[in-house]
C-alpha cells in the first residue's frame, strides 16, 4: 500500500493548482498526505494538512518564434485592411507638398516653422525611449537567489520547506498535523501561521 | 321698562334651539343693528338659499382628466427613442474615399509564406488546446481521487471539504502584464475630462 499512497500524495500535490489574488502570494488548496506511522489512538493513519502557497506570474511568458511570426503577420494584415488615420493623411499631404516644393524649386523667403507629422513621430519616439519599464528578468534571476519572491516572474512559484522525514531531508510542502475538531482547511491555515517569515494578511485563501 | 324688555328678549331667545345655534352669528353683526334688543335684527333675513351641486360635474371632470392623460401618454410614446449604440454607427468622416488605402499587391512568395504560416499556426493552436484539455482533465481526476481517499479515511472531513466556499465567488484576479510594476513610480500629473455621452431613457410606467 505504500507505493500507491506515495503516488496519491504526489498526484494530489501536483493536482492542486488553484490560485488567486491581487496579492503577491496566494494560498492554494489543501493536499492530504497520509503518513503510515501508527498512532496510539488505534487508527493506523496520521493526518497531516499541507499548504500550497503560490506566487502567481506577474509577467507573461516570452513568445515562441512561431508566435512572434504570427503576431507580426496579424499586425501587417490589420494595417493593410484598415483606413488611413488622421495622422497618416496629414503625413501623406505633407510629403506631397514637400515633393511639389522640391520640383518647383520655389524658394521660400522665410522658413515656416510648421510641425510636420514626421517631427511629431520623432518626438514620440524620444519620449518612449526615455521611459524605463520594469525588468522582466530580475536581479534575483541573475544571482539565482531562491529565497526572493521577485524571481521568475513568468512562472507560478510554490513554497517548499526542507524538513526531516525519518533519516532524509526532503523539500516538502509546509505541513501541520491535523488536530481533532478542526477542518483540513484550518490545519493548512495553521501551518501558514507557523511559517515565521510569512505575513498571513498578504495572502488570499481559496478553499479548493 | 328696560328689565321688562330684557325679559321679553330672553323669552324669545330661550325655547328654539335653532336660534341658540345662531347666537354667535348674531353677536358678530351687533354693531350693524340699531339696538341689541330689536327683534328683526336677531332673525337673519338677508341669506340666499343654498346652491345645489350639479350631479353631472364630477363626470365632466373625470372625462377632462382622462383626455389629458391620453394626450400625455401619446407624447411619451412618441418621445421614447432607443439609445444609439455608438459602435455601430460609422462616423461620416470615415466614408471619405481618400481614406482608403490602395490594395496591397503581395508577391507570390509573400502570399505563400502567409498561407504556410496560417497552416502551422492552426496546427499549433489545436495541439495547445488539446494539451490544456488534458491538463484540466488530469487535475480534476487527481482532485476526485484525493476526495475519495479522504472519504475512506475521515468522512466528516470529506463532508467539510465538499461544502461550498462562500468567499470563492466573485473571483477576481489581475492578469500578467508584459513588464512588472515599477516600485515608487510617479505617474504624470493631470486631470481627466470625461466627455462620454450619457443617454437617459425615460420609462413610462402605465
Determine contact: A92 vs chain B, CB below 8 A: no
CB contact under 8 A, B179 and A133: yes
Between chains, do A58 and B181 touch, taking CB under 8 Å as contact?
A: yes
For the purposes of burial, counting CB atoms within 10 Å of the CB of A19, is it exposed (0-12), middle (13-18) or buried (19 or more)?
buried
Chain B residues touching residue A83 (CB < 8 angstroms): 94, 99-101
Average pLDDT over residues B180-197: 88
Is the CB of residue B170 less than 8 Å away from at least one CB of chain A? Answer: no
Pairing of strands A157-158, A46-55: antiparallel
Asked if residue B113 is part of any domain, the answer here is: yes
| Residue B176 included in any domain | no
Convert chain B into a string of H (helix), E (strand) and C (coil): CHHHHHHHHHHHHCCCHHHHHCHHHHHHHHHCCCCCCCHHHHCCCCCCCCCCCCCCHHHHHHHHHHHHHHHHHHHHHHHCCCCCCHHHCCCHHHHCHHHCCCCCCCCHHHHHHHHHHHHHHHHHHHHHHHHHHHHHHHHHHHHHHHHHHHHHHCHHHHHHHCCCCCCCCCCCCCCCECCCCCCCCCCCCCCCCCCCCCCCCCCCCC
Highest mean pLDDT among A76-80, A92-96, B201-205 belongs to A76-80
CA distance B196 to chain A (A): 21
Judged against a pLDDT cut of 60, whether residue A84 lies above it is answered with: yes
Does A16 score more than 50 pLDDT? no
> For residue A35, is pLDDT > 50?
no
In a domain, B137, yes or no: yes
The verdict on B27 touching A (C-beta cutoff 8 Å) is no
**B10-37 per-position pLDDT tens digit:** 555 554 445 445 555 556 666 665 566 6
- Whether pLDDT at B81 is above 80: no
Residue B47 lies in a domain: no
Q: Which of A86-90, A189-193, B39-43 has the lowest mean pLDDT?
A: B39-43
Distance CA A97, CA B11 (A): 121
**Cβ B180 vs Cβ A59: under 8 Å:** yes
Distance of alpha carbon B206 from alpha carbon B203, whole angstroms: 10
Q: Do B153 and A34 touch (CB under 8 A)?
A: yes
Q: What is the pLDDT of residues A47-81, one digit of tens each?
A: 888 888 888 899 999 999 999 999 999 999 999 99
pLDDT digits (tens, 9 = 90+) for A99-136: 888 887 666 654 566 788 889 999 999 999 998 888 88
Chain A closest CA to B194's CA: distance in Å?
A: 22
Tell me if B141 is assigned to some domain: yes
Whether B134 is in a domain gets the answer yes
Higher model confidence: residue A192 or residue B112? B112
On whether any CB of chain A is under 8 Å from the CB of B94, the answer is yes
**pLDDT at residue A187 tops 70:** yes
Q: Cβ of B142 and A15 within 8 Å?
A: yes
Task: Let me know: does A177 contact A48? Beta carbons within 8 Å.
Answer: yes
Say yes or no for a CB contact (<8 Å) between B138 and A89: no
Tell me what the pLDDT averaged over chain A comes to: 75
Contact predicate A13/A173, CB 8 Å: yes
Mean pLDDT of A171-185: 86
- Interface contact B149, partner A, CB < 8 A: yes
Q: Tell which wins on pLDDT, A169 or B5.
A: A169
Range in A4-18, A153-167, B148-162 the model is least confident about = A4-18
The answer to whether A58 and B176 are in contact (CB under 8 A) is yes
B131 domain-assigned: yes
Could you tell me which residues come within 8 angstroms of residue A117 by beta carbon, excluding any fewer than 6 positions away? Answer: A87, A90, A91, A94
Cell 507560478: give the residue. Answer: A156
Average pLDDT, stretch A133-159? 85
For chain A, say whether B167 makes contact (Cβ under 8 Å): yes
- Containing structural domain, residue B110: 106-162
User: Has residue B195 been placed in a domain?
Assistant: no
Nearest CB neighbour to A183, from listed B139, B143, B157: B157
- Average pLDDT of every residue of chain B: 81
pLDDT (average), residues A141-154: 83
Tally of structural domains, chain B: 1
In this predicted structure, what is the pLDDT of residue A200? Answer: 55
Interface contact B101-A32, CB threshold 8 A? no
Amino acid at each position: 500500500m505504500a507505493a500507491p499512497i506515495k503516488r496519491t500524495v504526489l498526484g494530489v500535490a501536483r493536482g492542486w493548482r488553484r490560485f488567486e489574488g491581487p496579492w503577491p502570494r496566494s494560498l492554494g488548496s489543501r493536499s492530504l498526505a497520509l503518513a503510515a506511522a501508527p498512532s496510539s489512538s488505534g487508527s493506523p493513519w496520521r493526518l497531516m494538512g499541507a499548504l500550497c502557497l503560490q506566487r502567481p506570474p506577474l509577467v507573461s511568458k516570452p513568445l515562441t518564434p512561431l508566435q512572434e511570426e504570427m503576431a507580426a503577420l496579424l499586425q501587417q494584415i490589420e494595417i493593410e485592411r484598415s483606413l488611413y488615420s488622421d495622422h497618416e493623411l496629414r503625413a501623406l499631404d505633407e510629403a506631397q507638398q514637400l515633393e511639389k516644393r522640391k520640383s518647383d524649386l520655389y524658394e521660400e523667403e522665410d522658413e515656416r516653422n510648421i510641425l510636420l507629422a514626421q517631427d511629431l513621430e520623432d518626438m514620440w519616439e524620444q519620449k518612449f525611449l526615455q521611459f524605463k519599464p520594469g525588468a522582466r528578468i530580475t536581479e534575483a534571476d541573475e544571482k539565482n537567489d531562491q529565497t526572493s519572491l521577485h524571481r521568475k516572474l513568468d512562472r507560478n512559484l510554490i513554497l517548499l520547506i526542507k524538513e526531516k522525514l525519518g533519516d532524509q531531508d526532503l523539500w516538502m510542502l509546509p505541513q501541520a498535523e491535523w488536530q481533532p475538531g478542526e477542518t483540513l482547511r484550518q490545519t493548512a491555515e495553521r501551518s501558514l501561521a507557523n511559517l515565521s517569515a510569512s505575513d498571513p494578511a498578504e495572502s488570499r485563501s481559496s478553499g479548493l | 321698562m328696560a328689565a321688562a324688555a330684557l325679559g321679553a328678549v330672553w323669552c324669545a331667545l330661550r325655547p328654539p334651539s335653532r336660534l341658540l345655534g345662531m347666537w354667535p352669528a348674531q353677536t358678530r353683526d351687533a354693531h350693524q343693528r340699531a339696538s341689541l334688543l330689536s327683534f328683526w335684527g336677531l332673525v337673519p333675513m338677508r341669506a340666499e338659499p343654498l346652491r345645489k351641486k350639479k350631479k353631472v360635474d364630477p363626470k365632466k371632470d373625470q372625462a377632462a382628466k382622462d383626455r389629458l392623460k391620453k394626450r400625455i401618454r401619446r407624447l411619451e410614446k412618441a418621445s421614447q427613442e432607443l439609445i444609439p449604440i455608438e459602435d455601430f454607427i460609422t462616423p461620416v468622416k470615415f466614408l471619405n474615399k481618400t481614406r482608403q488605402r490602395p490594395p496591397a499587391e503581395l508577391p507570390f512568395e509573400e502570399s505563400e509564406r502567409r498561407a504556410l504560416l496560417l497552416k502551422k499556426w492552426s496546427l499549433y493552436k489545436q495541439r495547445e488546446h488539446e494539451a490544456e484539455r488534458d491538463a484540466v482533465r488530469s487535475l480534476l481526476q487527481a482532485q476526485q481521487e484525493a476526495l475519495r481517499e479522504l472519504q475512506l479515511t475521515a468522512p466528516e472531513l470529506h463532508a467539510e471539504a465538499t461544502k461550498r466556499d462562500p468567499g470563492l465567488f466573485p473571483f477576481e484576479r489581475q492578469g500578467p502584464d508584459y513588464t512588472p510594476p515599477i516600485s515608487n513610480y510617479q505617474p504624470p500629473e493631470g486631470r481627466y475630462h470625461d466627455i462620454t455621452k450619457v443617454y437617459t431613457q425615460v420609462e413610462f410606467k402605465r
